[in-house]
Amino acid sequence: MDNLDKHTFENDAPTELYSRIRGLKQRIGRLKNQLEHPDYNESAAEKIEDIESLRKQLVLAKQVYSQKIGDYPMSNKEQAIDMFERNLQNVSKIVLTIGGFFAGYPHYVADFSDDFSVYKEYFDSKEMIHLLDKLNRPYTKVSFLAEFNNIHVEEWNKSYSLRKFGYEILDGTQWELKIYYSNDIAPLNYSGNNHYPYNFEQLLQLFNAKEMS
């Protein structure tokens, strides 16, 4: 993995810089596609680290572009990502639903509307979840949102299905992630049917969801 710094991008001509940005986005996309393919059976950790490294380089390259040339021309997808990041502090509730037809669909809820709380709703029961961060400290609204932001769900596709790979599985596991806001922004919705984003496990770990363990 190339570890390019800001000075590397500053030496690029405008056309070279734009080409490098496009190349970084393509490399990230290829890695995600590899990890999300149902036939991929290798360790994902190294490739996820590569994606995170490339994402940091992409941010630096865009910063240099803005400084040298002007506003970076964002795609529709990049505009949506930018909107998500700017409104992170306006998130009022995050709801992860995951399960199957026979076992039911528990809801994992992070509620920021009053006092920050995380709980699991399953049929008629409600169970509080006491989550600890990597330093064994209870999560706060700020630290939970920061960890959630590190998953970069704003880069996910809106839906995931094995059908595009030619697979058809009845029942299995379905999931849905909804993000609600305290302002006038419409809720965001992501879902899947027996298929998942490349780093979905990070979201499960954040909520301590056991359905796929």
Same domain (yes/no): 50, 145: no
pTM above 0.75, yes or no: yes
Q: Which of 24, 48, 73 is the last residue of a domain?
A: 73
Q: Please give the distance of CA 203 from its chain centroid, rounded to a whole number.
A: 8
Same domain (yes/no): 163, 133: yes
212 is a domain residue: no
1 is a domain residue: no
Same domain (yes/no): 155, 109: yes
| pLDDT tens digit sequence for 64-88 | 999 989 999 999 999 999 999 999 9
According to the per-residue pLDDT averaged within each range, which of 14-18, 69-73, 111-115, 187-191 is highest?
187-191
Instruction: Please report the beta strands in the chain, taking only residues with DSSP state E, as ranges in sequence order.
Output: 91-99, 107-111, 117-122, 125-128, 159-161, 174-181, 188-193
Give the pLDDT score at 102: 75
Mean pLDDT computed over 154-162: 96
Neighbours of 177 (CB within 10 A): 21
Give the pLDDT score at 115: 87
107 is a domain residue: yes
Same domain (yes/no): 65, 109: no
Query: Alpha-carbon distance 14 to 57, whole Å?
Result: 17
Terminal-to-terminal C-alpha distance of the chain = 31
